[in-house]
Chains A and B, each alone.
Chain A
């Protein structure tokens, strides 16, 4: 069935609620309103207010209570309305949910999913477009998943719910409705921590995730047309933990690597991938690793956001640069 990412996620949540009585879905405006993006549309009607419910406006209470519920044995799927507001519940997510197993020597765990829309390019107010995954890579105990298409979104969400530990599931706002893709109606899962080769190539590895995957694909297409370069595009899908084997295997094949993400550059996914390459396959490189990222500034106002985000010309330019002969 052709689905948007919104529909695929809605399907996935519905299946989880059906499959497992322990699953509860909650957050701000997710009940009657069906979520501000409609990801949870009709779920309350189908599964009742006991299992799908609106909360007061308190990110910290949403995550903190999810900690308690998951320790008790439920499988909470909590929504934070926009990823920028994850910063309001950092203590509960980072110091509590992600550390419960550690603190209790494994006696108590937090198998919970925190869903949050993220990402720029849609003219939102401040704090509605931030890409904060870099911060959560430095949160031991927490996994970070970012799908780039409806099929992956549904399968990855299934694995996130099944995971024994907390998973931050970031959904790119621009991708929510930008295209439909064939997505099975039945249950399936896609393993966490496994990247996907979007297209194979032998000349340069292009690492991306979320809304940067279509940007990478377009830039690669133009480069292919221009100079016949074979770009291998890797969709990371899980940004923490990273699929090191996939990264190394691709770089060993191509000898060149570029990472694209809309999050700020410093200390982020690109930095970590570069370090992995340095540690594991530096001598395969024929050129320094490139990064095309958001800048190390706050995410700017709507009138400037297009300048902040990595674009096809920026990625193309980085590809051309890395393909230049010495």
Chain B
């Protein structure tokens, strides 16, 4: 597969990329990945799914705040971050927790955040901006980070990720335009999971593909099977290399599916036919990759079970650590409003402390 400029007249006819079919059989060219690397991708995918289930279960028990399920999107989330180097930047929505893990975000930090606290210190060394709640906004931040890397003459690239709904926002389209005009070393990824809460993809845009947005902005674009980890990795690896070598931005649309609810506050049975979900379960990215690994003798059933168990323990340990951490101080939000605390804010902080005792450090 080669990323190429697409004639804007061929809207909807962007290249589609797949390496593993639904059965886990190789139908494309295998990217150059060692056995360890392949297993590491699989491990992160399992970690993402198990983490998602765990936080949802904690939320049900009142031990976590609102959480958006990752189930079904592990291949995209892991594959988009896997080609990144430590100096590279990543800006995500709330649906890419597994991407953050690949980029080095500690599990306990994530659990602590989903308890409803701000992790202190925030692990800025991961070069992941905090999870973005305002839809599509982070795409411009990725472009800006990439522009800065280019201006600074650094070897860093940036990846921005959003969902299909976000492509309707002005920010998304403006990000593509800036990326193209400034030839920013950025990869803009759309995780098209079929649904923006209750609004299906076909009601989000009349275009046949979201990737087709790229050509209009002069940005090469590609569609990839988002449930195929090898394809996502391969496309991202090429797009990242294009960016790093000065060939400019790429738009990647990963076709995947949100198996779960939008968040723990959502009930998809109100608006979605369960048969559609079942049809996508067949394309489960984990099952597909597991079959492939087994066919290559890189994994057997016993090893898989062991891996799942180790991951469960790892997550339980992260929950133990995060729940043992004290809540952040009631008044710490004053510390992060500005670089220095104005007399007025000092006064307001003192007012708050009349009502709560500050926790000992």
Contacts and interface: CB of A to CB of B under 8 A. Distances in A.
B296 interface: no
Interface string A83-102: 01101100000000000000
A85 B165 CA distance: 14
A61 B198 contact: no
B169 A57 contact: yes
A301 B117 contact: yes
B199 A125 contact: no
B352 A307 contact: yes
A303 B327 contact: yes
Interface string B194-209: 0011110001110000
Contacts of A36: 197, 265-266
B133 A128 contact: yes
Contact of A58 (B66, B170, B203, B355): B170
Given A88-B134, A300-B333, A54 B203 contact: yes
A301 B336 CA distance: 12
A183 B165 CA distance: 37
B203 A296 contact: no
Interface in A147-181: none
Nearest to A266: B344
A127 interface: yes
Interface string A287-326: 0000000011110111110011001011001000000000
A304 B348 CA distance: 15
A313 B134 CA distance: 33
- Residue among A60, A126, A296, A304 facing the most chain B CB atoms (10 A cut-off): A304
A124 interface: yes
Nearest to B206: A56
A34 B270 contact: yes
Contacts of A126: 133
B235 interface: no
A32 B198 contact: yes
17 contacts: A29-B197, A32-B270, A32-B271, A33-B197, A54-B203, A56-B168, A56-B204, A84-B134, A85-B134, A125-B66, A295-B349, A296-B345, A298-B333, A302-B116, A304-B333, A307-B355, A308-B333
A46 interface: no
Contact of B330 (A56, A296, A307): A307
A51 B266 CA distance: 24
Given A28-B199, A56-B205, A33 B117 contact: no
B115 interface: yes
A295 to B, nearest CB: 5
Contact of A127 (B133, B169, B348): B133
Contact of B118 (A56, A59, A301, A311): A301
A296 to B, nearest CB: 6
Interface of A: 28-29, 31-34, 36, 54-61, 84-85, 87-88, 123-128, 265, 295-298, 300-304, 307-308, 311, 313-314, 317
Given A127-B134, A296-B348, 19 more contacts: A29-B198, A33-B271, A54-B198, A56-B165, A56-B168, A57-B169, A58-B169, A88-B134, A123-B116, A295-B345, A297-B345, A300-B118, A300-B333, A303-B118, A304-B117, A304-B328, A304-B330, A307-B356, A314-B355
Contact of B65 (A31, A125, A265): A125
A36 B262 CA distance: 11
Interface string B307-344: 00000000000000000000110111110010000001
A297 B335 CA distance: 9
B129 interface: no
Contacts of B337: 296-298
B22 interface: no
Interface string B165-181: 11011100000000000
A127 B133 CA distance: 7
Contacts of B166: 57
Interface string B246-288: 0000000000000000000110001100000000000000000
B58 interface: no
Contacts of A300: 118, 333
The 5 closest A-B pairs by CB, nearest first: A302-B116, A33-B198, A56-B168, A57-B165, A303-B116
Given A58-B170, A295-B348, A296-B344, A307 B331 contact: yes
Nearest to A37: B265
Contacts of B328: 301, 303-304
A303 B355 contact: no
A29 B352 CA distance: 38
A32 B270 CA distance: 7
B148 interface: no
A301 B65 CA distance: 10
Given A34-B270, A298-B333, A58 B168 contact: yes
Contacts of B136: 57
A54 B332 CA distance: 40
B138 to A, nearest CB: 13
Nearest to B268: A33
A190 B273 CA distance: 42
Contacts of B38: none
